[in-house]
Amino acid sequence: MSETKAFFAQALAYLKSEEFPENSLTKLGDNASAPARLAWYPALIARQQESAIESLFSACCAAARQLAPGLWRELITAYRHAYQPNSARPTDYARGFVPWLESWCEQDPSRTTLLLELADYEWLCFDLTAQPVDAIGEDRAWHIRMYEYPVTRIVAALAESQTIDHLLTKEAETLVIFQDASTARARVLWPTPFMLIALAVRAGQALPVGIDAARVAEAETQLRSRGVR
């Protein structure tokens, strides 16, 4: 490894708080700044990263804090040490949170999938709204989700700072989360069975035998009229 690469590798380890400051400073070499002046950088980076996660996943954050004291802190600390983005953009740091949270749930079957579902919902809404209409293809402008929990009701309750104890019983909710063609903002649709079939046909699946093609065509028209392109 070149000296330059070695320097930045060590600097990154320091900023991620993976080593004690005195160890990192020794490896980084002579430095004009005193250790006390450098010591606040890892804390600053951590605060910025945590702020990005809490901003983009506000419902997930609020739910975790209601579920168990210290749970949200445990999650964001573990994520910060496990994931490092390739850029300094906050959204790039947040991008890996949903797949990381999915892995966290899989490691222990007793862990609730509620937080994963909330984070997935929030990321899709953000990502669809953040992308310009002409930059997203029709095949990526909508997503079907079949959640185990009433995600939209939970998000609404948390937005009003309400408790969610009464919403923690599993209650399946099927959604189409899409970028509205006219406003370029994320919207949610509760689809009919024929709308789901129409979307499956869009995705290249054959029309199931015995299904009324006219009703599927009608459902496709309804989807288009509601902005699902």
Q: Beta partners for 145? A: 175
pLDDT of residue 48: 74
pLDDT of residue 50: 82
Confidence band of 84 (pLDDT split at 50, 70, 90): confident
CB atoms within 10 A of CB 31: 10
The 10s digit of each residue's pLDDT in 150-171 is 999 999 999 999 999 999 999 9
Confidence band of 20 (pLDDT split at 50, 70, 90): very low
Mean pLDDT of 46-60: 86
pLDDT of residue 135: 72
> How many residues are given for the chain?
229
| DSSP per position, 2-16 | -HHHHHHHHHHHHHT
pLDDT of residue 139: 67
| DSSP per position, 94-157 | HHTHHHHHHHHHHH-TTS-SHHHHHHHHHHHHHHHHHS-GGGS-GGGSEEEEEESS-HHHHHHH
Phi, psi (deg, nearest 5) at residue 176 = -110, 115
Whole-structure pTM value? 0.81
The 10s digit of each residue's pLDDT in 91-141 is 888 889 999 999 999 999 999 999 999 999 999 999 999 888 777 776 689
